[in-house]
Amino acid sequence: MSSNTVSKTSTTDPHRLPNFCAGPAAIPTEVLARAQSEMLDWQGRGVSVMEMSHRSKDYMAIAEKAESKLRSLMAIPDNYKVLFLQGGASLQFSAIPLNLLNGGPADYLTTGAWSGKAIKEAKRYETLGLGGINQVATGKDSNFTTVPAMSEWQLSDNAAYFHYCANETIHGLQIFEPPQVGAPLIVDMSSCILSQPIDVSKYGMIYAGAQKNIGPAGLLIVIIRDDLLDQASEWCPLLLNYGHQADKESMSNTPATYSWYLAGLVFDWLEAQGGVEAIGQINQQKADLLYKTIDDSSFYNNPVDKQYRSIMNVPFTLANSSLDKTFLEESEQAGLLSLKGHRDVGGMRASIYNAVPLEWVQLLVDFMIDFENRYA
């Protein structure tokens, strides 16, 4: 076992260990502490937020504040609606074609597991006559370690939309700049939203599951331009209809009230860190530290094209894969949690979302160097 066992008192909080889970992921300690203090009695009201009517004056104030904070953090233009929905990002793989295909075609770029799932689901709706689904390119031949050159993309004429995943959580591949195409960009930002500044006006719609950088699982954020709200097909269920949900202020049915509340606390926390620009600088520091450790070693490897390396999800392998089990056992014994790679990729993966402090990444790096020294 490594001598670098992580004492609970060596982390930023005496009761918490470094958590590198891909999702549900770490939530800022300050947010959890505040939620704990308000659990039984929210601001002297004598009830928990979980017990409030979603249409009560108090809860409406919570919801409105969360939206206002998110709009401020991301500089969301006035001609975009912000929806707090349920079902996770995967439900949007169905909702998007039902809302936006309109005779199509629609273009999809496949760069990993999640964009692959999105196009597979969208193709189910071709049989309804909503329009064709076109895969413009796929990174499968490279095992999703790079993005095919745009010169190779087979773009449709007059596409209804262009869908891609900005950050592939499983493969650790990130597209940092929005593709320059003519169709409205529909982007899955589940694992990179709020990690760096972006220009929202370049996108038709951004969607993100909450369980990476926003809060607990069960909540979904949709940021959608107004002109895309009224295009849903007759096949679209009411609860998946973006225009309907916008009209009902995300309360067509009872929303995920406690997750929405916790998201608001995360937005407060992020604002206190200096906003998205400040947290983006910290995220880059964390990623640089971890990738340098990997690149400076012949013992560790990250296969992703350097220009597309994710700053949120860092997969890595050992030169001797027979040591994988030992690495994972010893890292957990050392107090470093959830480093096992996804079953489709293997190896290890460190997810270093906003709530993962630089100190935790340093502890991981120290363990990796020690492990290499003992087993190389």
Catalytic residues: 114, 188, 212
196: tokens are: 């760096």
- The residue written with tokens 């704990």 in the block is 36
Long-range contacts of 271-274 (CB under 8 A, 24+ apart): 271/69, 271/72, 271/73
Contact 336, 18 (CB under 8 A): yes
Taking each helix axis from N to C terminus, what angle separates 29-38 and 257-272, rounded to the nearest 10 degrees? 130
Per DSSP, 259 falls in state H
| Token duo for residue 115 | 């964009």
Which residue matches tokens 């890292």?
331
How many angstroms separate the Cα of 164 from the Cα of each of 20, 42, 135, 136, 137?
A: 25, 40, 10, 10, 11
DSSP tag of 337: B
Q: Is 362 exposed, middle or buried (0-12, 13-18, 19+ CB in 10 A)?
A: middle
* Structure-block tokens of residue 54: 């979603």
* Separation in Å, CA 223 to CA 8, 64, 66, 68, 204: 39, 15, 14, 13, 8
Q: Which two tokens stand for residue 220?
A: 């979904």
How many whole angstroms separate alpha carbon 369 and alpha carbon 362?
Answer: 11
Do residues 339 and 331 make contact, with C-beta atoms less than 8 angstroms apart?
yes
- Specify whether the backbone of 274 is left (phi greater than 0), alpha (psi in -120 to 50) or beta: left
Q: Tokens for 205, please give them.
A: 């719609």
